[in-house]
Amino acid sequence: MSVNRADREFHFTSADFNLIKDLIYKRAGINLAESKKDMVYSRLSRRLRANGLKTFQQYLELLNDNQSDEQQEFLNSLTTNLTSFFREAHHFDILKEFLESRPHPVKIWCCAASTGEEPYSIAIACMEHFSSYTPPVKIWASDLDTKVLDKASKGVYSFERVEKLPDQRLKDFFFRGKGANSGLVKVKSPLQDMIHFFQLNLLDSSWPINEKFDVIFCRNVMIYFDKPTQYKVLKKFQPYLKDDGLLFAGHSESFPHASDLFKLRKHTVYTKA
């Protein structure tokens, strides 16, 4: 599909796309391929409408105003938040095995938590492992995108998001909505109590964390970064991960270019080199 389709509401040129591409790369590390032009147009057209703007040029001017609330909306619009409960399920078995030998409390950071399915899956795995609603584990869950964090902290999902979970998990960890809430589930409050949600941009020069973690989950976000950015983020993880801690990556992520920092242990799980 061409960028300048006649039926488009707003004129959108390659130059507009390139400016947006540079901006999201600078602010979030997200490396947009040319093939994302239509996606960018469609997501940002909504922002033009919301701001009552007529052109992408006006929108780019708004983004250059550092005081504008639109900065965050821009980031929220261009993130991809695909996730699910117990995605890459083998990782949760590796986590449970790892919990055996850890001093308490075990500290886990999920750094691209999206709408919360991942940190809640981590919390469920920990509760199952310790057979307790108050396991000796603390979870920090962050994301760049404030909209997904808001959804994550509420812990309310459509039933389809959980229908593939085993019945026992559903009973133990979710309430099913009734009446006006039918078709929805809500995570039980001990799960929410275990997790501290906060905003964090992996690209920021300093992070608002004062912890050393046993485990970092950083899954399916590095794929949006180029190799130099991945290396920078991996280097920044170093002081936040205990020497014998684990770093979980996504199924299509690997870091041979950072072999001085992390070595593969198994199935996209890394330890410090």
Summarize the annotated binding site as residue ranges: 81, 83, 87, 118, 143, 201-202, 219-220
31 binds ligand SAM (CB under 6 A): no
Question: Which residue do the tokens 């026992």 mark?
Answer: 168
Q: What is the DSSP letter of 177?
A: P
d(CA 143, CA 200) in angstroms, rounded, equals: 5
Binding residue positions for S-adenosyl-L-methionine:
81, 83, 87, 118, 143, 201-202, 219-220
Residues 168-227, interacting with ligand SAM (CB under 6 A): 201-203, 219-221, 224
First to last CA, the chain: 45
Which residue, 53 or 258, is less far from ligand SAM as judged by CB? 258
Please select the residue that binds ligand SAM; options are 51, 80, 254, 271, rule is CB under 6 A: 80
Assess contact for 219 and 112: CB atoms under 8 A. yes
Using alpha carbons, select from 202, 204, 112, 181 the residue that is nearest to residue 152: 112
Please select the residue that binds ligand SAM; options are 8, 43, 87, 154, rule is CB under 6 A: 87
Least distance between ligand SAM and beta carbon 201 (Å): 5
Applying CB under 6 A, the site for ligand SAM has a residue count of 24
Token couple for 25: 């790369």
229 binds ligand SAM (CB under 6 A): no
| Residue 102 is a catalytic residue | no
Please select the residue that binds ligand SAM; options are 144, 234, 241, 246, rule is CB under 6 A: 144
| H helix and E strand count, the chain | 10, 10
Write phi, then psi, for 4 (nearest 5 degrees).
Answer: -105, 45
83 binds ligand SAM (CB under 6 A): yes
Which residue, 195 or 221, is less far from ligand SAM as judged by CB? 221
Please select the residue that binds ligand SAM; options are 32, 40, 95, 112, rule is CB under 6 A: 112
CA distances (Å), 158 to each of 119, 120, 178, 181, 225, in order?
A: 17, 15, 12, 10, 30
d(CA 41, CA 56) in angstroms, rounded, equals: 9
Hey, how many other C-beta atoms are within 10 angstroms of the C-beta on 197? 21
Q: Which of 16, 47, 102, 143 is catalytic?
A: 143
Q: What is the DSSP letter of 50?
A: H
143 binds ligand SAM (CB under 6 A): yes
Please select the residue that binds ligand SAM; options are 29, 116, 155, 245, rule is CB under 6 A: 29
Least distance between ligand SAM and beta carbon 114 (Å): 3
| Residue 143 is a catalytic residue | yes
CA atoms within 13 A on the CB side of 216: 29
Q: Provide the edge-to-edge strand list for the sheet that holds 184-187.
A: 156-158, 184-187, 174-176
Q: Which of 8, 27, 43, 176 is catalytic?
A: 43
Interacting residues toward ligand SAM by CB under 6 A: 28-30, 79-83, 87, 112, 114, 118, 143-145, 148, 201-203, 219-221, 224, 250
Active site residues: 43, 143
